[in-house]
Amino acid sequence: MTEKAILALHGGEPVRSKYLSYGKQLLDDADIEAVIQVLRSDFLTTGPVVERFESAIAEYTGAKYAVAFSNGTAALHAACFAAGIKAGDEVITTPMTFAASANCVLYMGGTPVFADIDPVTYNIDPKSVEMLITEKTKAIIPVDFTGQPADLDDFIQMARDKGIIVIEDAAHALGASYNGRKVGAVSDMTMFSFHPVKPITTGEGGVIATNNYKYFEKLQQFRTHGITRNPAMLIERHGPWYYEMQELGYNYRMTELQAALGLSQMNKLDKFIIRRRQIADLYNDAFRSIKQVTLPHQKKGNESGWHLYILRLKLEHLSAVRREIFEAFQAENIGVNVHYLPVYWHPYYKKLGYAKGLCPESEHLYETIITLPLFPAMTEGDVEDVISAVQKVISYYSKG
């Protein structure tokens, strides 16, 4: 965008004087006090608070077990370990996600296979997945993009028919519901992330929820160097001090500090989700009459966690490319973002032999979307500023 265009668009003044990020944590005194209590306790790690946090996640989602990790990527890595992914195995996932959804497969020596998306929901398309299943397919990693659950029944059915494991990447979807059930107890394993922009935060952190006890045991062992102290699992017994490293695991443990913050945040999760939905409704009401954009589609039966609110630009009705429009929002101090660059467009994946053109719907979506700010700490004034900026920028670039 040229300086002249910026000045013309702004009329000399941006919508906001202070920058508004696309996402941000919401902490209160109870969260701070919870962390302080841990700092005053005997345990900063490997203590009782992590187990309490895991129990809170399991109870909320309806899963039998939950295992906490230092971050969501570590949790996905552990899920692939528990699923037995190895060299020669293929795992199908979506390219419209953060790189970790596919990287976790590479960590285990497997091969990510990218399926295209449904152009309406933006979630991975079951028909595309089914076409890619081979004898080498070991798992499917559907991603609940923006907080809207993927078509889990379709994936679970095709997985059962073919002996495939479903690892749901629900980094965006804690608090979301699928056909009346909370996300977390539907798939074989479900990952939640607790990065500061996610539904709740532990600073960094992740969890795998599962109903399978064998996966539960493997997940616990993997996060602690592959070590076990469980007498029933020991190969030898030297004494009460004895433990064994039986697998090549990692130090992926969540700290007591993280868990304390997460446990406090869980008390507010439902309120956070309600606020996210309120903001999304305000956006929908304000933008429904703007013919130059497509609003997010919500599939019947699902209740999104609304981690992200994505506008799709109808560039044929606009006199600018996406980058110009993005920069115009930034100049208005509206911290828009883009989610995501198709994973296989990253240089590392290109070196592995992946090429553009693999998933046309995903690539076209990437080129036409902008993420608007949406987080529980937003005030009514913040929401109004975003709405004003969208109306202003789209109107300026409208072809009429």
Q: What CATH number corresponds to the domain at position 353?
A: 3.90.1150.10
* DSSP-based helix, strand, coil % in the chain, nearest 5: 40, 15, 45
Catalytic residue among 138, 182, 198, 392: 198
* Predicted model pTM: 0.96
pLDDT at 2 over 80: no
Per-residue confidence at 1, pLDDT binned at 50, 70, 90?
low
Domain that holds residue 139: 29-266
Domain boundary among 249, 266, 283: 266
The secondary structure of residue 119, as a DSSP letter, is T
DSSP line for 138-166: EEEE-B-GGG----HHHHHHHHHHHT-EE
Domain boundary among 241, 266, 291: 266
Instruction: Identify the pLDDT of residue 4.
Output: 42
Looking at the structure, tell me whether residues 355 and 231 fall in a common domain.
Answer: no
**Alpha carbon 345 to chain centroid distance?**
19
Give per-residue pLDDT as tens, 310-319: 999 999 999 9
pLDDT at 342 over 50: yes
Assigned token pair, 100: 């970790």
Pairwise pLDDT comparison (399 vs 367), residue with the higher score:
367
198 catalytically annotated? yes
Pairwise pLDDT comparison (336 vs 13), residue with the higher score:
336
The mean pLDDT of 317-329, rounded to a whole number, is 96
What percentage of residues in the chain have a pLDDT greater than 70? 97
Looking at the structure, tell me whether residues 314 and 247 fall in a common domain.
Answer: no
Looking at the structure, tell me whether residues 121 and 254 fall in a common domain.
Answer: yes
Assigned token pair, 225: 């160097």
Looking at the structure, tell me whether residues 36 and 99 fall in a common domain.
Answer: yes
pLDDT at 8 over 60: no
pLDDT at 7 over 70: no
List all residues 6 or more positions away from 139 whose beta carbon is below 8 Å from its beta carbon: 80, 83, 85, 89, 91, 92, 105, 164, 165, 166, 167
Looking at the structure, tell me whether residues 255 and 381 fall in a common domain.
Answer: no
Average pLDDT score, the chain: 96
Looking at the structure, tell me whether residues 210 and 142 fall in a common domain.
Answer: yes
